[in-house]
Amino acid sequence: MRDALTFTDLSKTFAVAKGLLGRAKSQVHAVQPLSMSVEHGETLGIVGESGCGKSTLARMLVGLLPPSTGVIEIDGHPLDPSDRAAFGKKIQYVFQDPISSLNPRKTVRQIMEAPLIHLHGLNSAERAKRIREIFAAVNLREEFLDRYPHEFSGGQAQRIGIARALAADARILILDEPVSALDVSVQAQVLNLLSDLKQQLGLTYLFISHDLAVVEAVSDRVAVLYFGSVVEVGPAEQVFAAPRHPYTKLLANSAPVVGRPLAQPEMRETELPDPLNPPPGCAFCGRCPRRIARCDTERPPLLTQSDGVSIACHNPL
């Protein structure tokens, strides 16, 4: 069976500090060439801190941002980035901020109908039926349809956002921090809903978050992003329980956990490298406790180890 979603050498470069004639003076590699595939019915978690390129990656995958290089394939067929409707029917996006992703001047019904009209060309009876089905699936009452977004709580608004993504009838959902704007008690409601929907509808998820515990709880596989490249990919239960890349270990140790004393995880007060002037070797070597001479000069490739975990490190744990 072919993979649900494959991307090969996908990268994004932004031009910064444009000159007078619009010619770029320097470039920032937001996402280094990435290759990965997601199986049907799988949840691939993507974790990383701000500035690691996870949102840029998500926006490229749904066609909101044209990639600088690379190909996106769905079920083995390459996507044409200029054909937005084809994109929308195959792959959809759930936004981080549920309220601002809903137009304040439209009713929920108008929001829900947009993909049904423009992607599928349904008539009004078909649309009503489809909306009823979707609302039942995400546990929303139909009386909500004639209200405006500001009347909803964050959790309800996020269900509407998920319902809109489902209305496009795409099999692949990119979930970009779907619960980070929600309170914990509501966060669990939404996460469980997503897991039910996946089973009922046979969906494939790409789950992006900065919250390691959430990613671990929902994902089959987890990819850790640092400075625009993948540093470690592996089964969810393994990546944080037994991290192989020093950055993954730092992340896992930094997350505050009940019952673990506060430790100083990093001795140096370090920050991300300068994106305008990236280091020639490993991007993490400035913060790395296991740095060796090669790390300064040579960028480590992502290599698959015998246990199925892939890491990009010259001196793994």
Partner 1 sequence: MSGFLSLLARNRLALAGAVVIVTVVLLALVTPLLPLANPDATNTAIRFQRPFQGEALLGTDHLGRDLLSRLLWGTRLSLAVGFTAAVAAATLGATIGIIAGYYGGRTDNIIMRGVDMLMAFPYILLALAIVAALGPGLMNALIAVAAVNIPFFARNIRGVTVGIAHKEFVDAARLSGLSNARIIVSEVLPNVIPVVVVAMSTTIGWMILETAGLSFLGLGSQPPQADLGSMLGEARSALITNPHTSLVPGLMILVIVMAINLLGDGVRDALDPRLKSGALSRPMPATRVHRETPPAPPAGEAVLALQGLQTQFHVKQRKYRAVGGVDLALHAGECLGIIGESGSGKSVAALSVMGLVASPPGVITGGAVYYKGRDLIGAPYETLRQLRGDRVAYIFQDPLATLHPLYTVGEQLIEAVRAHHSVSRIQARRHAIELLKSVRIPNAQDRIDSYPHEMSGGMRQRVGIAMALSNDPEVIIADEPTTALDVTVQAQILSLLDDLRRERGLAIIFITHDFGVVAQLCDRVAVMYAGRIVEEGPTPAILNTPQHPYTARLMACVPELGQGRRELAAIPGLPPAVDQLPTGCAFAERCDLVRPACTAGDIALTTSGPRKLRCILPPLPREARV
Helices (H), ranges, 91-218: 108-118, 124-137, 154-167, 184-201, 212-218
Identify any residues that bridge with 234 across adjacent strands, giving them in sequence order.
Answer: 222
Interaction of residue 192 with partner 1, rule CB under 8 A: yes
Interaction of residue 264 with partner 1, rule CB under 8 A: yes
For partner 1, give the closer residue by CB, 256 or 293.
Answer: 256
CB of 298 to partner 1, least distance (A): 24
Interaction of residue 266 with partner 1, rule CB under 8 A: yes
Interaction of residue 3 with partner 1, rule CB under 8 A: no
For partner 1, give the closer residue by CB, 7 or 240.
Answer: 240
Task: Output b/e per residue, 236-262; b: 16+ Cβ within 10 A.
Answer: bebbbeebbbbbbbbbbeeeeeeeeee
User: What part of residues 203-242 is at the interface with partner 1 (CB under 8 A)?
Assistant: 210, 212-214, 216-220, 236-237, 240-241
Interaction of residue 254 with partner 1, rule CB under 8 A: yes
CB of 287 to partner 1, least distance (A): 8
For partner 1, give the closer residue by CB, 72 or 218.
Answer: 218
- The residue count for the chain: 317
For partner 1, give the closer residue by CB, 268 or 306.
Answer: 268
Figure out which of the listed residues 158, 187, 204, 229 binds partner 1, where binding follows CB under 8 A.
187
Interaction of residue 184 with partner 1, rule CB under 8 A: yes
Whole-angstrom CA distances from 128 to 122, 224, 272, 298 are: 10, 41, 50, 58
Q: What are phi and psi of 46, to 5 degrees?
A: -125, 120
Tokens (6 digits) for 277: 């002037």
User: What part of residues 7-26 is at the interface with partner 1 (CB under 8 A)?
Assistant: 22
Contact assessment for residue 29 and residue 228, using Cβ atoms and an 8 Å cutoff: yes
> Cβ–Cβ contacts within 10 Å for residue 263, how many?
8
Exposed (0-12), middle (13-18) or buried (19+): which is 189, by Cβ within 10 Å?
Answer: middle
User: What part of residues 79-138 is at the interface with partner 1 (CB under 8 A)?
Assistant: 84-85, 87-88, 92-93, 95-97, 100-106, 111, 114-115, 118-119
| Choices 73-81, 127-135, 264-272, 306-314; region in contact with partner 1 by CB under 8 A | 264-272
Evaluate the CA torsion angle 114, 90, 234, 305 in order and state its sign: negative
Figure out which of the listed residues 124, 153, 297, 305 binds partner 1, where binding follows CB under 8 A.
153
CA–CA distance, 89 with 165 (Å, rounded to integer): 10
CB of 106 to partner 1, least distance (A): 8
User: What part of residues 37-56 is at the interface with partner 1 (CB under 8 A)?
Assistant: 49-50
User: What part of residues 268-297 is at the interface with partner 1 (CB under 8 A)?
Assistant: 269, 271-272
Collapsing DSSP to helix, strand or coil, 206 comes out as strand
| Choices 26-34, 124-132, 187-195, 197-205; region in contact with partner 1 by CB under 8 A | 187-195
